[in-house]
Amino acid sequence: MNPSSQKTPLGRRSFLHLAAAAASSAAGVSAAGAVGAACRPPLPREAGRTVATLWFSYGGKNREVLLDLVSRFNASQARVAIRATFQGDYFEALAKLRTALAANVAPTFSHVVGEVIPYLARAQVLEPLDSYERCDEFIPQLGQKGAFRDGHTHPTVAIPFNRSTPIMYANANLLDTLPSTWDELRDTARRLTRPSVGDPRWGFEVPISWWFWVAMLGQAGGTLIDTDGTPSLGADAGERALRFWQTLVHTDRSMRPPAGRDYNAWQVTNQDFLAGRAAVIWTSTAFLRYLEDTASFPVIAAPLPKDLRASVPTGGTFFVILRSAPPEEKEAAWTFLRWMCQPEQTISWATRTGYLPVTQAAVAQLRDSGYYDAHPNDRVAYEQLSAVEPWPWVPNLFRIQRDIVEPRLEDAVHRNLDAHAVMNSARAAARRPV
């Protein structure tokens, strides 16, 4: 904590909360109220059961599966119940969560992207979970272990549940084998592109998003944050990744950056693929079942292609319990999380959505039952875990993503800006304290 912030007699923090409300009112949106570090009052019990609230972000099919699991859990419990509420996509839900935390009306638990956990942990709003009864053993690449890079020891604050990696999908009617290197991807994309005003098809499509750029940065041999904590943003590898996109979009004209930003662009990518306007796409394993079930053509999945090596980041979210919730609600939330981590639920969630099974026990059951032999696309998603590059959880990771890298990537790809200059400016901004 900044010592000077504690000396102001009139409560600068409260003053600033009002200022945030003012800034947001000027923007025509609702804003935060008071700081919510204290424990909020418990919710009224329902039919004698403790109610824990869950704010979730899954849309479409994944939302149906989650609500089904919640309803099964509620039917199986006599003492606790979960009330799940949809809060928009990950970023909308995060915005609401922060505001609710500031106003001391946060839910009992929620789920957030990994990049934001260092920030929430630093704000001390997450419940340490080490004292709770343990869950089944998690797959190491998907859990919190070893992710924090700030030199401090951290308690467990995040439980993996809907975890994913980026993966490549292709229309199997258009190609038999999927590209395994960047060069092959470039050739394939050029070959499959059909320039036509009336019925165009792009060989390749991927949202211009930080997640995929981080994957390519790793494939080009770079690391986002150096071991000493310097945000090098992959150095040359980061630039090479950006240039590869620019080549596909502007030189080869074999890739179209999808319209919209954030998850709207992801949705457009899926729709273009399903409508036959994109032959090969990169998106999340989370859409595996949706794409397979919806496409009018056979869908094949493959690992992302290599440049110098294979590399993918993990995606999806972690469950977190909010510290401000009353103890009985936290216990209820933990009961639900433990239930979700049992193989039956983990398998149900993974096989009905495409998210990765997060516990060793669930994977063992799936392997032994022959599930991966019968579902080769699921096997690809699982096997790609061997190429996972763990996220460096440094406190400003989310700022680097949202405020620094993502807007520059969009700008550079759409306007074909000099990749070296763009990444230099990003690195300079990432090193600035504000």
Partner 1 sequence: MRPRKPWHPAALLGPSLLLLAVFVVFPVALAALASLYSWDLLTPPEFVGLANYRALAEGGELLGVALRTLGFSVLVVTGAMTLGLAIALLVHRPGRLFALVRGAVFSAYVVSWVAVALLWMGLLDPDAGLVAAVLRALGLGRVGFLGDPDTVLATLAAVTVWKVTGYAMILFLAGLEAIPPVLHEAASLDGAGHWNRFRHVTWPTLGPTTAFVATTSLILSFQAFDVVRIMTQGGPARASTLFVYAIYEQVFLNLSVGKASALTVVFFTLLLALATLQLRAWRARGMS
Q: Are 167 and 291 in contact (CB under 8 A)?
A: no
Dihedral (CA of 225, 226, 229, 230) sign: negative
What is the DSSP secondary-structure string of 338-404?
HHHTSHHHHHHHHHHH-PBP-BHHHHHHHHHTTHHHH-HHHHHHHHGGGGBPPP-B-TTHHHIIIII
Which residue, 27 or 75, is less far from partner 1 as judged by CB? 27
Of 2, 76, 227, 296, the one binding partner 1 (CB under 8 A) is: 2
Q: Does 255 bind partner 1 (CB under 8 A)?
A: no
Least distance in Å: CB of 420 to partner 1?
17
Which residue, 103 or 310, is less far from partner 1 as judged by CB? 103
Rounded to an integer, what distance in angstroms lies between the CA atom of residue 197 and that of residue 200? Answer: 6
Using CB under 8 A as the binding rule, the residues of this chain from 272 to 311 that contact partner 1 are 272, 275, 277
The 8-class DSSP code of residue 237 comes to: H
Using CB under 8 A as the binding rule, the residues of this chain from 181 to 240 that contact partner 1 are 197-198, 200
Least distance in Å: CB of 246 to partner 1?
13
Q: Does 411 bind partner 1 (CB under 8 A)?
A: yes
> Among 264-272, 281-289, 329-337, 340-348, which window interacts with partner 1 (CB under 8 A)?
264-272
Rounded to an integer, what distance in angstroms lies between the CA atom of residue 337 and that of residue 157? Answer: 13
Q: Does 260 bind partner 1 (CB under 8 A)?
A: yes
Of 73, 119, 210, 244, the one binding partner 1 (CB under 8 A) is: 119
274-277 — which CB contacts under 8 Å span 24+ positions? 276/171, 276/201, 277/200, 277/201, 277/202, 277/205
Rounded to an integer, what distance in angstroms lies between the CA atom of residue 102 and that of residue 404? Answer: 25
Q: Does 9 bind partner 1 (CB under 8 A)?
A: no
> Among 131-139, 150-158, 257-265, 293-301, which window interacts with partner 1 (CB under 8 A)?
257-265
Q: Does 1 bind partner 1 (CB under 8 A)?
A: yes
Q: Does 173 bind partner 1 (CB under 8 A)?
A: no
The residues near 159 (Cβ < 8 Å, ≥ 6 apart) are: 129, 135, 318, 319, 320, 337, 341
Which residue, 48 or 151, is less far from partner 1 as judged by CB? 151
Rounded to an integer, what distance in angstroms lies between the CA atom of residue 270 and that of residue 287? Answer: 8
Which residue, 95 or 364, is less far from partner 1 as judged by CB? 95
Q: Are 367 and 291 in contact (CB under 8 A)?
A: no
Q: Does 31 bind partner 1 (CB under 8 A)?
A: yes
429-to-63, 174, 230, 396, 397 alpha-carbon distances in Å: 37, 43, 12, 12, 12
Of 38, 59, 105, 122, the one binding partner 1 (CB under 8 A) is: 122
Least distance in Å: CB of 23 to partner 1?
5
Q: Does 14 bind partner 1 (CB under 8 A)?
A: no
What is the DSSP secondary-structure string of 149-213?
-SSS------EEEEEE-EEEEEETTT-SS---BHHHHHHHHHHH-B--SSS-BEEEE----HHHH
Q: Does 415 bind partner 1 (CB under 8 A)?
A: yes
Of 50, 57, 87, 99, the one binding partner 1 (CB under 8 A) is: 99
Which residue, 181 or 264, is less far from partner 1 as judged by CB? 264
Q: Does 55 bind partner 1 (CB under 8 A)?
A: no
The 8-class DSSP code of residue 227 comes to: T
> Among 62-70, 90-98, 151-159, 385-393, which window interacts with partner 1 (CB under 8 A)?
90-98
Which residue, 338 or 402, is less far from partner 1 as judged by CB? 402
* Amino acid occupying residue 369: S
Q: Are 304 and 167 in contact (CB under 8 A)?
A: yes
Residues that bind partner 1 (CB under 8 A): 1-2, 4-5, 12-13, 15-29, 31-32, 91, 95, 98-99, 101-102, 119-120, 122-123, 125, 197-198, 200, 256-262, 264-265, 272, 275, 277, 398-399, 402-403, 407, 410-411, 413-415, 425, 429, 432-434
